[in-house]
Chains A and B, each alone.
Chain A
Amino acid sequence: MSVSRRTLLKTSAIAMGHWLAPLPAFATREDANAAIIATFGDRPLQEGRVSVQIPAISENGYSVPMTVEVDSPMTEADHVVRISIFAEENPIPNVAHFELRPETGIARVQTRIRLAASQRVRAVAEMSDGSLWTSYTFSIVTLAACVL
């Protein structure tokens, strides 16, 4: 069989029309940094102690399982006060804030998040001594929630 030139052109035209459909504006890494500063103030961030677990490949950006965990003894003297999650390329970088107490015991929170594109998800943890810790994990999103 053969494909006529007309059919192929028609095919491409339909595909292009879809491609050109407007997409919502995405945030950038700078927007995420700005959101972190808005949340915690312009204070030094140290790498480590906090980890974000999301699948390396998310088959659907509408529901991505996420676990955030902080290495902390969770005592009165030394505990996690707050954890914030930022998705660098979502329309809004903020995802969630969690407030913890010494009696939380284990600094681990799970939820399900939306990812508008393959991107880095960052966590920032604030400790009772005021120090800030951060890390990120990358996830490839095969069905990006282009319309979240």
Chain B
Amino acid sequence: MPLSWLSWKLTSLTRLAGVRRAGCLILTLLASLTQAEDILSFSANPDLDASMVRSGYRFLTPETRSLQDDDFANPGYLWVDQGRQQFHDSGCNACHQEGALTGAATRYPQLDPELGLINLEARINQCVEDRLERPALKYESHALLSLSAYITNLSKGRPYQIIVTGAAEPHFTAGREYFFSRRGQLNLACNQCHDDNWGRMLRGDKISQGHPNAYPGYRLEWQTLGSLHRRIQDCDTGIRARPFPPGSTEYTQLELYLAWRARQLGLESPGVRR
């Protein structure tokens, strides 16, 4: 029996019954089952066609888009404002002139000779510890989110400028592998939703391509601003895989692959997402 028909039938039934999350789960489970037969055919793992790249912004309703576009009402700017204040209060501006960090966020994740592959959050913490001689800020803390949101916002509209070759290549390969590896009880890989099924409906939501360019971003579901790694944790939790901690090497490598995959998109932070 064609499983696509069954999954359609089940989703419409659950929708009719007003069941909140069950339909979503059944659909994802069935999607994973229907694709089991393709397991050999996608072993070649083609990357998302560059001409097909679309920001998550394009998968939002007009209301959510206009919330992101509104420089006042976009709640993410509360963190940007706070980050700017912190940047001055804690003495970051002793080294970095106003505006000198414009474009900096586009170059992360990057390879540091001592620390290995690091993202912007790790770079901020290196500064905090080595230059400001203060304890590192906790990942996902208000202070670190504010600083990273402020610094990333300075690169708004600019495309990624990351390096994925040379010494960075093993990290890039590891990140790419993560993206194409099935994991969790639902046995799903990132690409099964975000390469193969973007634009289709997962119950009430349109599946996006899973780009990182909104983050640090304000997610309506979180009702707050969060990092890309928190967002990835939500995906891993969604497929019932054990998430890695934010700031982990695994997620930073995945971040490198995601940045490369989205390379022609402009940074939108603070983006607004569902």
Contact = CB atoms under 8 A, between A and B. Distances in A.
Whether A and B touch (Cβ < 8 Å) is answered with yes
B22 A19 contact: yes
B21 A18 contact: yes
Contact of A11 (B26, B61, B203): B26
14 contacts: A7-B33, A15-B26, A15-B29, A16-B22, A55-B61, A55-B63, A59-B64, A59-B274, A60-B220, A63-B67, A63-B223, A143-B204, A143-B274, A146-B20
B3 interface: yes
Interface in A49-102: 55, 57-60, 62-63, 65
Of A23, A60, A146, which is in contact with the most chain B CB atoms at under 10 Å from its CB?
Answer: A60
Interface of A: 1, 3, 7, 11-12, 14-16, 18-19, 23, 55, 57-60, 62-63, 65, 142-144, 146
B29 A62 contact: no
Contacts of B20: 19, 23, 144, 146
Contacts of A143: 204-205, 221, 274
A63 B64 CA distance: 9
Interface residues of B, number: 25
Given A19-B22, A57-B61, A62-B220, 10 more contacts: A1-B36, A11-B33, A15-B22, A15-B25, A15-B26, A19-B19, A23-B20, A59-B61, A63-B220, A143-B205
A62 B223 contact: yes
Contacts of B89: none
B37 interface: yes
Interface string B60-97: 11011001000000000000000000000000000000
Contacts, number: 61
B208 to A, nearest CB: 12
A60 B22 contact: no
Of A57, A58, A63, which is in contact with the most chain B CB atoms at under 10 Å from its CB?
Answer: A63
Nearest to B30: A11
B212 to A, nearest CB: 20
Given A7-B33, A60-B221, A142 B63 contact: no
Contacts of A58: 63
Contacts of B36: 1
A11 B25 CA distance: 9
A77 B19 CA distance: 51
Of B22, B30, B61, which is in contact with the most chain A CB atoms at under 10 Å from its CB?
Answer: B22
Contacts of A14: 25, 29
B214 to A, nearest CB: 15
Contacts of A55: 61, 63
B21 A19 contact: yes
A62 B25 contact: no
